[in-house]
Structure 1
Amino acid sequence: MELKEYCFLPTDEYVKPLGRTFMLDDIRILSLSGSGVEFKYTGTKLTVTFYGDSTTSVDENMPQPWRDQARVAVIVDDVMQLDTVIKKPMEVFEVCGLDESIPAAEHIVKIIKLSEPRMSTAGLGEIRILAESPAQPTPLKDKYIEFIGDSITCGYGVDVPNEFHPFATGNENVTKALSYKTAQKLDADYSMVSYSGHGLISGYTPDPNVPKLEELIQPYYDIFAYSYNTFRGLQMESRKWDFASERKPDVIVINLGTNDDSYVQQDEEKRQAFYKAYISFLEKVHGFNPTSKIVVAFGLMGDALFKTEQEAVNAFKEKSGFNEVYAVHLTPQDPEKNGYGADYHPSPVSHELAAVELSEFIKGIDD
Structure 2
Amino acid sequence: MKTPSRLLFPLLSLAALATTLSAAVIPATDPQLRYTGRFDRTDQAGPRCTWTASAVALTLTGGSASVTLKGATGKNHWQVVIDGQPASVLALEAGEKEYLLASNLPPGQHTIELVKRTEASQGATQIVSFRIDDAEKLLPTPVRSRRIEVIGDSISCGYGNEAASKEEKFTPATENGWLAYGAVAARAVDADYTCIAWAGKRLWPGNSIIDLYDQTAPTVTSAKWDFASVPAPDAVVINLGTNEFNDQKNPNEAGWTTAYLRFIREIRTRYPEALVYCTVGPMLSNWPGDRKPRETILGYLAKVVEQANAAGGPPVRLIDFGTQYQHHGIGASWHPSVKTHSLMAEKLTAALKQDLGW
Report if TM-score (shorter chain) is over 0.5: yes
Partner of 2:8: none
Corresponding residue number in structure 2 for 1:231: none
For residue 257 of structure 1, report the CA deviation from its aligned partner.
Answer: 0.9
- What is the alpha-carbon distance in structure 1 between the residues aligned to residue 347 and residue 106 of structure 2? 41
Larger Cα Rg: Structure 1 or Structure 2? 2
Aligned to 2:269: 287
- SS for the counterpart of 2:24 is strand
Q: What is the TM-score with the length of structure 1 in the denominator?
A: 0.84
Gaps of 5+ in 1: 57-68, 203-212, 228-234
Amino acid at match of 2:120: P
Q: How far does the alpha carbon of each residue in 1:188-216 deviate from its partner, in whole angstroms, 9 at most, with x for none?
A: 111111111101114xxxxxxxxxx2x21
The SS at the match of 1:140 is coil
The 3 A distance-change label for structure 1 pair 4 and 43 is: farther
Is 2:61–2:139's contact at 8 Å kept on the other side of the alignment? no
- Secondary structure, aligned partner of 1:139: coil
Residue 323 of structure 2 is aligned to residue 332 of structure 1: yes
Q: TM-score, normalised by structure 2?
A: 0.86
Residue 242 of structure 1 pairs with residue 222 of structure 2: no
Question: How many pairs are equivalent?
Answer: 326
Percent identity of equivalent pairs: 27
Distance (whole Å) between structure 2 residues aligned to residue 310 and residue 300 of structure 1:
17
| Amino acid paired to 2:302 | Q
2:95 is matched with which residue? 89
State the 1:28 CA deviation: 1.8
- Partners of 1:38 and 1:282 lie apart in 2 by 31
For the structure 1 residues 165 and 137, does the alpha-carbon distance in structure 2 shift closer, same or farther, using more than 3 Å as the test? farther
- Structure 1 pair 332/94, CA: closer, same or farther in 2 (3 Å)? same
**Structure 2 residue aligned with 1:261, among 217, 223, 245?**
245
Structure 2: state its 5+ residue gaps. 1-20, 285-293
Report the CA distance between 1:70 and its aligned residue.
Answer: 1.3
Q: Distance in 2 between matches of 1:323 and 1:105?
A: 42
Provide the alpha-carbon RMSD of the alignment.
1.9
Q: Report the CA distance shift for 1:183/1:264 in structure 2 as closer, same or farther (over 3 A).
A: farther
Q: Give the Cα separation in 2 of the matches to 1:41 and 1:323.
A: 39
Q: How does 1:4-23 map to 2 (within 5 A)?
A: 5-23=23-41
- The CA distance in 1 between the partners of 2:356 and 2:100, in whole Å, is 42
Matches within 5 A, 1:1-367: 5-23=23-41, 24-53=43-72, 55-56=73-74, 69-96=75-102, 98-99=103-104, 103-130=106-133, 132-202=135-205, 213=206, 215-227=207-219, 235-236=220-221, 238-263=222-247, 265-266=249-250, 270-302=252-284, 303-304=294-295, 305-318=297-310, 320-335=311-326, 337-367=327-357
Q: Quick one: structure 1 residues 103 and 177, their matched pair in 2 at CA, closer, same or farther if it must change by over 3 Å?
A: closer
Task: Kindly provide the CA deviation profile for residues 218-250 of structure 1, in whole angstroms up to 9, marking residues without a partner as x.
Answer: 1111111323xxxxxxx33x1110012221111
Structure 1 distance, partners of 2:227, 2:106, is 43
